[in-house]
């Protein structure tokens, strides 16, 4: 295994940004930037040992600084949408940064994805690892409490493990995730609509026209959102269904059938031509499936190709969407003296 780091550039204020690359004996290679904790590339092998990059990204720091799609980054303090960009905690109303119409999305306009993190590399018994840390001060993007955050990226066998941790000095809300866009074909410019998806879920959160949860958890059985069996992403994406119309495709949080607190299977994706496969395992209670509906045509990838809608898909494991405003959803409140912990791993079995 190897760990290397390079000076990748600097922000306009002179803050340096590093790029770390981890490799292991199973043929995995991942590059992670200290800006936003972005996974800039993830090389995985097929059965013949041929490695391809299975994530979307940019070839320079400038691309990530200008990015509006959360390409490969860490998302927080709270992933996904918070209705009206506000919540009440212990009788105090907190007004958040609005960056999605009247709502907040992925932690606000200056969330974790646009911050420079401290980095420490380690060769662990499990595999090469980089730990990113930062302190989110009280009031950042409207959230209460000073939050100390650490995220471990570790290559373990045929998997990339992400271990999220945080502690706070005052009650707050925390629900982090990684926002990588995947395309297992390894062909620049190809869409992901022929990828076959299976989700370990038969329920999803009903949403309104703004994709904010109504509070109802509904069955996906027999609907275009039913992915209990391997199904091409594009097969039903244009079906006449309000849930798909509102999101211009798939953009929904699926509640996992396994309600245990430990690591559990959440999703499987199979690319039919290469037979390349990915599994997602997580300790989170659900996973948000996004089919890249709003990727802009002007986005350029590492190879000079142009991204567009459905160039990649996201499988974001985190707590229930808008949990701070939905008393019927599992809480994402974090209190002093309690450690936040969440693990997600992306597994690439070679058959």
Catalytically active residues are 179, 316
The answer to whether the CB of 165 falls within 8 A of the CB of 151 is yes
Structure tokens at 63: 């691309």
DSSP 242: H
Distance from chain centroid for Cα 109: 16
Residue 89 contacts by C-beta under 8 Å, 6 or more apart in sequence? Answer: 144, 171, 172, 173, 324, 333
CA 211 vs CA 82, 103, 284: distances in Å: 10, 10, 20
The answer to whether the CB of 58 falls within 8 A of the CB of 301 is yes
Euclidean distance between CA atoms 109 and 100, whole angstroms: 9
Q: Omega into 73 within 30° of 0, i.e. cis?
A: no
What angle (nearest 5°) sits at the alpha carbon of residue 284, between those of residues 160 and 173? 115
Question: Burial level of 271, CB count in 10 A (0-12/13-18/19+)?
Answer: buried
Euclidean distance between CA atoms 53 and 253, whole angstroms: 26
What angle (nearest 5°) sits at the alpha carbon of residue 99, between those of residues 94 and 102? 70
The answer to whether the CB of 254 falls within 8 A of the CB of 204 is yes
DSSP 113: G
DSSP 114: G
List 340's β-bridge partners, or say none: 166
CA 214 vs CA 204, 286, 322, 326: distances in Å: 11, 17, 9, 9
């Amino acid at each position: 295994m190897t760990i290397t780091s390079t000076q990748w550039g600097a922000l306009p204020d002179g803050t340096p940004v590093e790029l770390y690359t981890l490799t292991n004996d199973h043929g995995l290679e991942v590059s992670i930037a200290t800006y936003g904790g972005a996974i800039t590339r993830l090389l995985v092998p097929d059965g013949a040992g041929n490695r391809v990059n299975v994530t979307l990204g940019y070839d320079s720091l400038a691309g990530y600084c200008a990015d509006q799609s959360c390409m490969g980054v860490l998302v927080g303090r709270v992933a996904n949408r918070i209705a009206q960009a506000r919540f009440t905690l212990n009788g105090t109303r907190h007004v958040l940064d609005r960056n999605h119409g009247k709502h907040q999305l992925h932690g606000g306009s200056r969330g974790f994805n646009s911050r420079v993190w401290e980095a420490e590399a380690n060769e662990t018994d499990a595999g090469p690892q980089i730990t990113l840390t930062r302190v989110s001060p009280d009031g950042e993007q409207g959230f209460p409490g000073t939050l100390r955050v650490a995220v471990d990226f570790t290559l373990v066998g045929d998997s990339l493990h992400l271990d999220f941790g945080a502690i706070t000095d005052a009650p707050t809300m925390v629900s982090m995730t990684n926002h990588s866009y995947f395309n297992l074909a390894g062909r620049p410019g190809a869409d992901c609509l022929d990828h076959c998806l299976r989700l370990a879920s038969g329920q999803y959160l009903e949403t309104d026209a703004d994709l904010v949860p109504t509070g109802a958890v509904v069955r996906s059985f027999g609907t275009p959102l039913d992915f209990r069996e391997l199904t091409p992403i594009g097969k039903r994406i244009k079906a006449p269904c309000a849930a798909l119309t509102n999101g211009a495709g798939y953009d929904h949080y699926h509640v996992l059938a396994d309600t245990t607190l430990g690591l559990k299977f959440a999703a499987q994706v199979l690319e039919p031509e290469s037979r390349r496969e990915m599994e997602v395992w997580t300790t989170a209670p659900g996973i948000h499936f996004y089919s890249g509906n709003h990727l802009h045509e002007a986005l350029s990838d590492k190879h000079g190709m142009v991204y567009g809608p459905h160039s990649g898909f996201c499988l974001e494991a985190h707590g229930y969407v808008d949990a701070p405003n939905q008393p019927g959803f599992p809480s994402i409140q974090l209190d002093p003296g309690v450690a936040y912990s969440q693990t997600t791993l992306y597994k690439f079995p070679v058959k």
